[in-house]
A and B are shown apart, each in its own frame.
Chain A
């Protein structure tokens, strides 16, 4: 059952991602495809017993980012919508090389040997277990992220303010 759900949600994610890539003319549609694929990724997190990460993913991507993208899409109405690919030969060659590398990496990943899937303890992925880890083992990273968020909030205000002249 879990596997069938995984394949369903994975298909949903891929459809959303491709829908985002091929709706360049209409940024609103692209944004909603993106949000849909992000919500489906949240569902995959639930299937992988990461409930708190899933909640965070849905809250951040479906809530915050959707609103911001919708606002940006409507406010930044460009003179002419930039459509089509970048069109240079070099870019196409580079895209092809990267696609080939990607396929090689996928083949490598498929054939790599993985250990057995471990049994998980009670409360795996819960807020309690993650919170305890965040404030003990990973407290340094936690503090750095706090610092990052502070500098980002200052930086965005500086970037986006109107010039005062």
Chain B
């Protein structure tokens, strides 16, 4: 059986990679994928602990999380299309109307 610490550490690594991508990248599509990566990492932890305790509730939560990921991707791409239509770029640095 896989040692659960290794799964958790692996998920942590994945989350950190996703967070780093969200911070350092400027392409909105890459940003969206990085957010998905972070959510996938948290779902992986849910599944790992469901296996550790032998309880299927964690897997139910993982199923719900995957559906929420789908919703998030859909809304994210919708916002992206609206953003792109206004200024013909995917650079998130260009979105500065709410900055001060």
A interface residues, Cβ below 8 angstroms from B: 2-3, 6, 10, 13-14, 17-18, 20-21, 24, 27, 30-31, 34, 37-38, 41, 44-45, 47-50, 52-53, 56-57, 60-61, 64-65, 68-69, 72-73, 76, 78-86, 91-92, 94-95, 98-99, 102, 105-106, 109-110, 112, 114-115, 117-121, 124-125, 129-130, 133-134, 137-138, 141-142, 145, 148-149, 152-153, 155-156, 159-160
Q: List chain B positions with a Cβ less than 8 A from chain A.
A: 1-10, 12-21, 23-30, 33-34, 36-37, 40, 43-44, 47-48, 50-57, 59-64, 66-71, 73-75, 77-82, 84, 88-93
Q: Are B78 and A156 in contact, with the CB atoms below 8 A?
A: yes
* B23 engages A94 (CB within 8 Å): yes
Set of chain A residues within 8 Å of B71, measured between Cβ atoms: 148-149, 152
Contacts of A117 in B (CB 8 A): 1, 4, 51-52
Q: Does the CB pair B66–A95 fall under 8 Å?
A: no
Is the beta-carbon distance between B12 and A106 smaller than 8 angstroms? yes
Bound-state CA distance A80–B66 (Å) is 33
SS of A interface (majority): helix
Establish whether residues A118 and B54, one from each chain, have CB atoms under 8 Å apart when the complex forms. yes
Chain A residues near B27 (CB-CB < 8 A): 24, 27, 81-83
A37–B37 contact, CB under 8 A? yes
Is B59 a contact of A52 with CB atoms below 8 Å?
yes
Within the complex, what minimum Cβ distance (angstroms) separates B42 from chain A?
12
Note all chain B residues with C-beta closer than 8 A to A156.
74-75, 77-78
Interchain CB contact under 8 A, B37 and A34: yes
A69 touches B12 (CB 8 A): no
Expressed in whole angstroms, the Cα–Cα distance for A118 and B44 within the complex equals 18
